[in-house]
Amino acid sequence: MNLQRFSLVKAWLLSGLTKCPSCVNSTTAKRVAPAICSGHQHRTFSSEAAGVKVLYDGLCPICVTEIRFLQFLQRNRPGKVYFIDIAQPDYEAEKYKAVSYEMAMEEMHVIDEKDEVYRGIPAFAVMYSAVGLGWLGRFMMWSPVRPFMDQSYAIFARNRLKWTGRGEECKTGRCEKKTH
């Protein structure tokens, strides 16, 4: 029985997750970004204002590793994804839908082409879709998987600073990369 379920899930994933089980975020009853739902793959980007903006902590080695991978994936894509390092001294929240440094340090934030802000797992789903990994974003948002993803990410977000050698001082203001 478990092998049969695995085979069904595997076939579903390999088919590109073309039938998104749900395009609604059940915890907020708000539509998830069309970019992560089936049938909404047509994208146009004409300027930075229209592109997806990924806000990330450039002093977090885990975050930077993922961002480098995503930059590599999107290098030949016709659309634009802008990776915004919130650790830079010139980061201005008012340019990014009032997402403050403190907010961005708490959890991942992504602003889609329509200037809608996503946080946590929905942010990852929008980001992955923008670089050509829409199937992964849809999988993360799939109702049987979503609770696990939310819990896992909450643990990571809560411990990220400690795990990367930085402390509570990084949650407000600016923090510097520690040199040992």
pLDDT tens per residue, range 32-79: 333 343 333 333 333 345 689 999 999 999 999 999 999 999 887 766
- Residue type at position 175: C
- Is the overall model pTM greater than 0.75, yes or no? no
Pairing state of beta strands 81-85 and 52-56?
A: parallel
Copy the structure tokens of residue 102. 């403190």
Copy the structure tokens of residue 95. 């340019």
The predicted-structure confidence for 82-130, as pLDDT tens digits, reads as follows: 999 999 999 999 999 999 999 999 999 999 999 999 999 999 999 999 9
Which residues have C-beta within 8 Å of that of residue 115, sequence separation ≥ 6? 49, 97
Contact (CB, 8 A) for 105 and 138: no
CATH number of 48-168: 3.40.30
- Edge-first strand order for the sheet with 117-119 is 81-85, 52-56, 109-111, 117-119
